[in-house]
Structure 1
Amino acid sequence: MLATLSTGQLVSVIIGLLLLSAFFSSAETGLMALNRLKLKNDAKTQKGAWLAHRLLQKPDRLIGIILIGNNFINILATALTTVLALKVAGEQGIVFGTAILTVAILIFAEITPKTYAAIHPERIGYPAAFILTPLLKIFWPLVWLINLFTNSILRLLGVPAEIAEKALSREELKTLVIENDMLNPDVHQKMMINVMNLEHIKVEDVMVPRNEIQAININDDWDSIERKIVGTYLTRLPVYQDSIDHVIGILHIRTILSMLKNSTLTKRKLKGILRKPYFVPETAHLSGQLREFQNKERRMGLVVDEYGDLVGLITLDDILEQIVGRFTSQFGDRGLQIIQKSDHEYVVKGRIAIRFLNRRLHWDLPTDDATTINGLITETIKDLPSANLTLDIEDYRLTILEVGEDNTINTVLIKKLNREED
């Protein structure tokens, strides 16, 4: 039958087959290159996107119908090219015909359509879905049979037959956020990336250290307790008995405002309105702790180490500030900002957490014996700190700039050393 076709007819059929091969090649690349998030959104309003989404839910079937069509067409094109070559140049023309067909397939049926589809996946993928969907229904028995043999071979090789749609990894999602031009790079991008970074930040990195916790000793005289309540800028205060290690409850200032105004507040009443303290481990990640605060309807937690000893305090505001930044710079602000003086030189507060500093500046100051810069220096010198004292700790030079009246370090200049220059 093929031999009865004229030379012109054979050429026309081969060109048509090359176009069909180009369709299957571009459809495969276009559908696989579709952005899954945009596809799900477009599927709500566009029929082509909806069909493409359904096809991609069973990628093994989609690939099956595409490869069946493409291979059938290419084999048929090869057979017709052989007949054409025999007609034109005899047996010796078969080699030239095969070479010409190979180049034509590579250029017009593979490279060009696949490149275009990779650049414009929606222009190719959505319309192609209208054709591939009925083809898959028509040739479903053949596709099923081929996939049966293919999946059997995959199982023998230890490869699972089911192909699951993988979710975006954290880093891929970050890249998607950064490259999205619709987001304000100075506000929304930073906030969304900070939310994803909560998984890597621990409670101990942002907590208020134990020595900075403002609290009330219930055994103090009443005038002292009242002055502390009236003078505080905080809305919640831990209440302890003799030692901060023995917290008996959390006081919400708002619950005693009316009694303070009417001068009816007493120690007994104060104890009666305390809320049970809530403890959190220092190794908990902020993402999990944020959910715990929400589930337990809490805004403050007392941080304990592995032995149950109190090491700090964390509030919901501390976590939210990791997402949106500082809320305020009023007198209540802990002011743990890092001020850069020059290359590799920074001025920081003595009470800043070492882990927080390491994370912000990509440093590796030791954290085994202390949690704050103040504690690190004191533990190293084994003496009371003094201004202008300089010491080297591993690859860092620390200079004490200011010491408070209680012998705690207020500010420190830290320089990362270059050992080769030294």
Structure 2
Amino acid sequence: MDDISTGTLFIVLFVLILLSAYFSSSETGMMSINRYRLKHLQNEGNRAANRVQKLLDRPDRLIGLILIGNNLVNIAASSIATIIGMRLYGDVGIAIATFSLTMVVLVFAEVTPKTLAALYPEKIAFPSSFILLPLLTVLYPFVYFVNGITNGILALLRINPIGSGDDALSREELRTVVYEAGSMIPKKHQDMLVSILDLENVTAEDIMVPRADIVAIDINDEWKVIQKQLTLAQHTRVLLYRDSIDDAVGFVHLRDALRLLAKDQFTKSSLLRAVREIYFTPESTPLHTLMYRFQIEKERIALVVDEYGDIQGLVTLEDILEEIIGDFTTSMVPDHSKEVHIQQDGSVLVDGSANIRDLNKEMDWKLPIEGPKTLNGLILEYLEEIPEHKVSVRLAGYPIEIVDISENMIKTVRILPEYYLPAHDISQE
């Protein structure tokens, strides 16, 4: 070593610091790379992505290789820096070399390259794979020996060094990924994707047309009344029943009725022969399951029944699609539904029978949806009694004034701007 000039030692030290920076940036770049983008590039046949994935398949070997290389060059750099320091400053040079090399390594071989690699992992990891993969082959016996020791220690701690390899995202994580996509995915598309993720949490009961609102025809009515109802029907499929909706006969498609009319065979008996079988579904059926069943059974409409088999409502394929993409056919009012009335003072009059989920979507509110389905039910559950006179409550942060009560139901409520009511929970007038 005495035969080597000080200038040459400085050059060697500079090269060793560059190698240390390379190993440090490679480690951070490899570990920071987006695994899902990496798989996407693999599927497109990107060779660099294939090399990186091959290295990441065994992270213990990759980390072992990088740390072996990094420690070798750092120790070598420390030795050379010590020799240079002693040549220039004598015994004091050892302390000077230690402090100086620590600062140089920290700034130029650790923090700077690792920060750069964290910001641009692909630009670091892909070129680095050209060197690391062959280097792993050359140093494999040494890497295998070191990994054998470290893996044995991890095994004692009951840790699998290879890992499960499971990079699957949960529903909540995927929701975060969709929203974090920002401008890469339009807001409307983000909402649609999240709505698809939420289908499992929404049941037929949540979106069904309530029993009282089902458009149906009593087949026992006068024929002229039935003809008029079919003529004025706003839906392509109409439910037929006898006396009570619980005695449902089936659905008739207006196209079939028109065909009978064209053949001059439009009678009550022929109409009954044209009805289609009813498809029933429990009210607790998740929407993603119901949509799958619609697809398998070639159905577009179903009657929703409770645990006792009583009809509670009606749900259609269009209702499920609207849950995903929003209203597109059935909403005829451009601004607000008939259950919501915006007042000049900024308050909102809402029918007590309004569906909470629909209100949250329409008004961008966050009323709780885990319990009752209607605003009336939500307020009654909160009060734990049927109020005998007007009551003002603050429910989920929303100041609500009960305006009209009749037939043991809250018919109308006024939801006020924040400044209308004090901050206490309940105030009775």
In structure 2, runs of 5+ residues without a counterpart are none
After superposition, what is the alpha-carbon deviation per residue over 1:293-321, rounded to whole angstroms, capped at 9, x for unaligned? 22332211222233333221111111211
1:205, 1:356 within 8 Å by CA — same for their partners in 2?
no
Amino acid in structure 2 at the alignment position of 1:153: I
Amino acid in structure 2 at the alignment position of 1:76: A
2:376, 2:409 within 8 Å by CA — same for their partners in 1?
yes
Quickly say closer, same or farther: Cα 1:267–1:400, change in 2 above 3 A: farther
Determine the C-alpha separation between the residues in 2 that align with 1:341 and 1:210.
30
Amino acid in structure 2 at the alignment position of 1:253: L
Q: CA deviation at 1:232?
A: 0.8
- The answer to whether structure 1 residue 156 and structure 2 residue 159 are counterparts is no
Counterpart among 359, 366, 385 of residue 362 in structure 1: 366
Amino acid in structure 2 at the alignment position of 1:81: A
Q: CA deviation at 1:112?
A: 0.5
Determine the C-alpha separation between the residues in 1 that align with 2:70 and 2:341.
63
Aligned residues: 411
1:345, 1:414 within 8 Å by CA — same for their partners in 2?
yes
After superposition, what is the alpha-carbon deviation per residue over 1:146-192, rounded to whole angstroms, capped at 9, x for unaligned? 3333333223223233322423344443444343423333x333333
Amino acid in structure 1 at the alignment position of 2:150: T
Q: What SS class does the counterpart of residue 313 from structure 1 fall into? A: strand
After superposition, what is the alpha-carbon deviation per residue over 1:127-156, rounded to whole angstroms, capped at 9, x for unaligned? 111111111222223333333333332232
* TM superposition score normalised by structure 1: 0.83
Identical counterparts, % of pairs: 41
Amino acid in structure 1 at the alignment position of 2:108: F
Alignment-derived partner of residue 67 in structure 1: 67
* TM superposition score normalised by structure 2: 0.82
Alignment-derived partner of residue 313 in structure 2: 312
Determine the C-alpha separation between the residues in 2 that align with 1:49 and 1:342.
60
Q: CA deviation at 1:70?
A: 1.2
Instruction: Report matched runs for 1:90-239 at 5 Å.
Output: 90-163=90-163, 164-178=165-179, 179-185=181-187, 187-239=188-240
Q: CA deviation at 1:344?
A: 8.5
Amino acid in structure 2 at the alignment position of 1:419: A
Q: CA deviation at 1:206?
A: 1.8
Which stretch of structure 1 is more off in the superposition, 204-213 or 303-312? 303-312
Alignment-derived partner of residue 255 in structure 2: 254
2:238, 2:252 within 8 Å by CA — same for their partners in 1?
yes
1:358, 1:365 within 8 Å by CA — same for their partners in 2?
no
Quickly say closer, same or farther: Cα 1:56–1:175, change in 2 above 3 A: same
1:30, 1:117 within 8 Å by CA — same for their partners in 2?
yes
Q: What SS class does the counterpart of residue 128 from structure 2 fall into? A: helix
1:355, 1:367 within 8 Å by CA — same for their partners in 2?
no
Alignment-derived partner of residue 23 in structure 1: 22
Amino acid in structure 2 at the alignment position of 1:18: I
Q: What SS class does the counterpart of residue 361 from structure 1 fall into? A: coil
Alignment-derived partner of residue 400 in structure 2: 397
Determine the C-alpha separation between the residues in 2 that align with 1:281 and 1:192.
26
Alignment-derived partner of residue 51 in structure 1: 51
Q: What SS class does the counterpart of residue 349 from structure 2 fall into? A: strand
Determine the C-alpha separation between the residues in 1 that align with 2:400 and 2:315.
30
Determine the C-alpha separation between the residues in 2 that align with 1:378 and 1:77.
76
Q: CA deviation at 1:65?
A: 1.7
Quickly say closer, same or farther: Cα 1:378–1:260, change in 2 above 3 A: farther
Counterpart among 343, 348, 356 of residue 350 in structure 2: 348
Q: CA deviation at 1:58?
A: 3.0
Aligned-residue CA RMSD (Å): 3.6
1:336, 1:352 within 8 Å by CA — same for their partners in 2?
no
Determine the C-alpha separation between the residues in 1 that align with 2:56 and 2:119.
19
Alignment-derived partner of residue 77 in structure 2: 77
Q: CA deviation at 1:367?
A: 4.3
